[in-house]
Chains A and B, each alone.
Chain A
C-alpha cells in the first residue's frame, strides 16, 4: 500500500519538474525576505533583544530594605539548598544590637551557578531573587563573574525601557 503511494510518476522520475518546484519555494522565500527585510524572523542580538517572560531566571539580585541594608539575614538556607555550591556567605551581627544577623560577605559564583532557582525558593525573607532578566553574562576574567554583595544588592530592577525588545515570531 505504502509502496504504491510513494511511487513516483514518470514526470517526477525525470527529476526536473520537481527541481523547478523546489526552486519556486526557495525563490519565494528569497523574494519575500528581500522585500520585507524588517519582518525577518531573526533578532539582531546585541542591538535587539527577545522579550523574556517575567518568570525568567536570570542574574540574581539581593533585595534591599528602605534603609539600604540587605533583607538577607544570613540564615544560610540558600547556600544549603544550592546544588552547585556556588553561594558563599559570611555572617555578622549588626553593631547596634538586636538579634538579627546580616551577611558581611555574600558571593555568588556565576561560573558554577546552574540557574535552578532553588536559592530563591529556599529564602524565607524574599532576600534573593532572580528577576533581573539579565542573561548575557560573559566577561574576560573569572574574577568578574564571582559576584560580590555590592554587585548583587539592587533596590530597583534595571531600566529596560531603552532596550530594543523584539517579540518572538508570530
Chain B
C-alpha cells in the first residue's frame, strides 16, 4: 500500500516540479509562521509588561491565575484576558457608523502585522539543496515599504475615532493622528543617514553589511556608525507606537480613553494587539538597522556556517536576533515605568523644533564624513 502511494505521487508530481515550487512553499510557510509567532509573543509581552511593571514598583503583580495550582509565574493571565474578551457582550454604540466601526480594529491590526514581512531573522541558508531565505519578502524597496505600511495604521486610528460617534474618541483620534504623522517624518529622516552609509534600503543586504568590521575594529553596526540617528529613531519609534513617554492618544483625565473609547471586548483587544505588534516590529527595525540584525558580533555569517553547519548557524542567528529584539521590547516596558509623559504641546515642540532639525543635521554630517572618507 505504501509503495503504491509513493509510486502514484512519483507519477503525478515529479521531483523537478517539486523543486520549482519549493521556494514558493517555503515562503508560504514563513508567511504563516511569522504572524503566528508574533501573535503568540503578545502573550509573553503582556506578561513581561505586567510582572515587569510590578517588580519595578516593588509589588509581585498578577500571580493568582492557575491550572490545578500551577500559576506558571502569572503567564496564564493573558489567556484569561482572552477568554474574558471573547465572552464579553459585544456592545455597539448607537451613533456608530457600523461598517467603519467594525473595520477600524482590523485596519489597525493588519498593517502592524504586514511590516514584519521584510525583516530578515537569519541569513539565508541551504539545506539539502533547498534555499531557505528566513525573510518573507525580499523587496528592493525594503525599509521604504516598512515606513509606508506602518503609516497606514494611522488610518485605522482615525476611522476608529470618527466611526465611534463620540466626541472624545474623535479628539483622541485627532491627537494620535497628528502625533503619529509628525513623528513618522523623524522616523523616516533619521534612517536616511543609514541608507547613505550602507547605500542600500533592503534590510537583508543592510544586515549583511553590518556583519563586516568598520575600521577593522568594531562591528559595522548602525549605532556605532550613526549614534545620533539611533537616538532619534528610538525616540520617534516610541511616539509611533504610542508608548510612554509619548502615550498621548490615551489620556484618562483629558479625553477619557482616546480613539478606542467606544470599543470593548475583542475589538479593544485588537487595538491592544496592534500596539504590541508594532512594538515588536519597531524593535525588529531597531535591531535590523542599528544592532546588526541577526549578526553575532565578530562572527560573520560565512565563518559561523563553517563552524555550526547549515542547520545550526541560522538557529543561532535566530537566537541572536530574538535576544536583541527581546531587549528592545523590554526597553519599551522599562522606559514606560520610568518616565513621566509629556504634555501635548511639548510632544509637538520636541518633534518639530528639536528632533526634526537634528535629523536633517545628521544627514549633512553623515554626508560630509562619507565624502571625506571617499576622498
Contacts and interface: CB of A to CB of B under 8 A. Distances in A.
Interface residues of A, number: 16
B231 A16 contact: yes
12 contacts: A16-B231, A19-B338, A19-B339, A23-B335, A26-B334, A27-B56, A29-B58, A34-B55, A37-B60, A41-B59, A42-B58, A44-B60
B337 interface: yes
Interface in B50-71: 52, 55-60
Contacts of A83: none
Contacts, number: 38
B338 A22 contact: yes
Contacts of A56: none
A164 interface: no
Interface string A7-23: 00000000010010011
Interface of B: 52, 55-60, 231, 334-335, 337-339
A141 interface: no
Contact of A30 (B56, B60, B335, B339): B56
Residue of A23, A29, A30, A34 with most chain B CB atoms under a 10 A cut-off: A30
In the complex, the 10 A-B pairs of residues with the closest C-beta atoms, listed nearest first = A33-B55, A22-B338, A26-B338, A30-B55, A42-B59, A26-B56, A30-B56, A29-B56, A23-B338, A40-B60
B338 A25 contact: yes
A30 B57 CA distance: 8
Contacts of A26: 56, 334, 337-338
A19 B337 CA distance: 12
Nearest to A169: B58
Contact of B55 (A16, A23, A29): A29
Contacts of B231: 16
A74 B52 CA distance: 58
B30 to A, nearest CB: 35
Nearest to B337: A26
